[in-house]
Amino acid sequence: MNQAIRLKLFLMMVLQFFIWGAWLPLIFGYLPSLHFSPSQQSWILNAFPIAAIIGMFFSNQFADRNFAAERFLAFSHLVGGLAILGCAYTRDFWPFFGLMLVHCLLYVPTISITNSIAFANMKDAQKEFGLVRMGGTIGWILAAWPFTFILVDWAKVDAAHPSGLKDWLGTVLANGLSGEELQARTPWTFIVAGAASLALALFSLALPHTPPKKADKNTDSLAWMGAVRLLAHPFVLVLWLVTFIDAFVHNCYFNWTGTFLGKVGIPGNWIMPVMSIGQIAEILTMFALGGVLKRLGWRATMTIGILGHAARFAVFAFLPQYPALIVTVNVLHGICYAFFFATVYIFVDDYFPKDVRASAQGLFNVMILGAGALLANSLCPVLLQNVFTTNGVTDFRGLFLVPCLSAGAAAVALALFFHPPRKTAPSASVGGAPAH
């Protein structure tokens, strides 16, 4: 592949996941400050998984076949970017929900569209896609770092009268916002996400032309039926249900961790960088995943990934008095993603028949991006604010034991009941794994 094209595709992925990574981590703690009820918070948070379920059909059956991919990408990020910008300037439920829904309905299909653009312009996707797709993980990490300067108590910085660049930088990084001041500055996450979305809309016009795909004789509906029929195999059904549970646990992390980190003393400007540690670990883990799969096999690798969730939430539940450990254990987030979710995508690609493989990936995506997140976003605000919080005091131990025990049960179920037919050694290629 031409180096200039590779660079464009890499930057496309950086911006694509920078947008999502900018607004997601802090929204869970921000919505209660707007005095939205737990049910209203759930509706807003569920805009993304609802869009994920709709978007899987829309992007495959409409956008791919009717629009040049780069033009659809430009339009989606233009309108979606304006919508997420609007979220920074409204405090009322219905406008906020409407804007978030518009953004998500337009953003989610672009996850598939960016993959389509990348694949269409590669000569050897197996070798080239992994490097391009790594831009998405880097984009998510980069999204966290502007906020180490945006979410700063500048009054304290000015009062300290730092001398010299080094002293000034140390003072800035040590004076993050917290509490109500942090909530008041959180709308900047939507502004940054919107700016990145508008930048990608403009940049999309410079991407290689990718014409719409023509529908073939094998309709998607028949492929979906073939994928669904595979659930009749016990090992496929077990993995599908375990994926649902693990996706729920995965999204509990995003729902609660930002609030929890603030409670254990992490400054507001460091919450997003701390949560990005998992994505840094993900990059390193993805390089090792092929070798781990060959050595341990599907079931053991995925079980370790699920148990990583349980271990992290156990540390959150029982050791909150050690902030350094709370920060460090976020490394497990990237390992959990690579060892379970990325492995699921590789397994589907390896085991499912070629004619239903894409639809089978969509079947599991319904759980990963849709149903699992839908359940978490519906339950987590209620559990945090109504069930485990009394008189303003939150029982984080009881709260975190919910996903901890759920992950443990899922790991046991996978270990006992997931028995795929014997095949050749799993492939070492991990390039096609999508984002967190």
pLDDT of residue 426: 47
Q: Are residues 196 and 262 in the same domain?
A: no
Q: Are residues 191 and 287 in the same domain?
A: no
Q: Are residues 108 and 246 in the same domain?
A: no
Asked if residue 383 lies in contact with residue 207, where contact means CB atoms within 8 angstroms, the answer is no
Domain boundary (194, 214, 234) is at 214
Domain boundary (166, 196, 214) is at 214
Low-confidence ranges of the chain (pLDDT < 50): 425-435
pLDDT of residue 216: 58
Q: Are residues 294 and 280 in the same domain?
A: yes
Residue 200 lies inside a defined structural domain of this protein: yes
| DSSP H stretches of helix in 264-353 | 268-275, 277-318, 323-328, 331-336, 343-351
pLDDT of residue 61: 62
Phi, psi of 247 (to 5 degrees): -65, -40
pLDDT of residue 435: 41
pLDDT of residue 238: 96
Give the domain range for residue 381: 216-422
Q: Are residues 198 and 247 in the same domain?
A: no
Q: Are residues 199 and 265 in the same domain?
A: no
How far are the Cα atoms of 126, 243, 285, 308, 337 from residue 342, in angstroms, in the given order? 15, 11, 10, 14, 6
Residue 137 lies inside a defined structural domain of this protein: yes
Residue 166 lies inside a defined structural domain of this protein: no
Helix then strand then coil, % of the chain, to nearest 5? 80, 0, 20
State the Cα angle at 161 between 158 and 163, rounded to 5°.
Answer: 130
Q: Are residues 203 and 54 in the same domain?
A: yes
pLDDT of residue 286: 81
In the chain, pLDDT over 90 holds for what percent of residues?
65
Residue 358 lies inside a defined structural domain of this protein: yes
CATH of the domain at 7: 1.20.1250.20
pLDDT of residue 425: 47
Q: Are residues 379 and 293 in the same domain?
A: yes
Residue 255 lies inside a defined structural domain of this protein: yes
Q: Are residues 210 and 222 in the same domain?
A: no
CA 19, 21, 25, 27: dihedral to nearest 10 degrees?
A: 10
d(CA 96, CA 87): 6
Q: Are residues 197 and 226 in the same domain?
A: no
Overall domain count for the chain: 2
pTM, two decimals, is 0.85
pLDDT of residue 191: 97
The predicted-structure confidence for 322-374, as pLDDT tens digits, reads as follows 999 999 999 998 889 989 998 998 888 788 777 666 677 778 888 998 999 99
Q: Are residues 128 and 225 in the same domain?
A: no
- Name the packing angle between helices 47-58 and 372-382 (round to 10°): 170
Q: Are residues 281 and 256 in the same domain?
A: yes
